[in-house]
Amino acid sequence: MEKAIAQGTTQLRTHVEVDPRIRMKGFHALRRLQHDFAWAAGLQLCVFPQEGLLNDPGCDELLVEACENGAGSIGGAPYVDSDPHGQIARIFELAKRYDLDIDFHPRFRSRSILDASR
């Protein structure tokens, strides 16, 4: 944040992994950073199920918790989920409920969402 601010950056977005392994630790740490640097720059937290959503029990509840506690956007990586289209639908549902922007990463190493579901 300090280096970005020193270069004149006033708005940033960072992806915050939430899942049953890391839980909300990263989210809470970045919320503190968001608060500490609010005087100089806006920091939007994009909550993100890095290892999948529907195939990772407990992840959905953590995403909801993050959305209820200040997430600025929500993302996903459908290609890592056992049901990529289901993940997309759930992310859209949460984004609509909490009025959040969506930041998807739909491809990895030229593997498309459709390829991942086959």
Domain boundaries of the chain, sorted by first residue: 11-116
pTM over 0.85: no
Give percent above pLDDT 90 in the chain: 78
Q: Where would I find the H helices in 37-101?
A: 59-68, 84-98
Looking at residue 108, what is its pLDDT?
Answer: 59
pLDDT at 112 over 60: no
Q: Given 3.30.70, 3.30.750, 3.40.1000, 2.60.40, which CATH number is that of 11-116? A: 3.30.750
pLDDT at 111 over 60: no
Q: Tell me which of 10-19, 72-81, 109-118 is least confident.
A: 109-118
4-33 mean pLDDT: 94
Report the C-alpha gap between 49 and 69 in whole angstroms.
Answer: 16
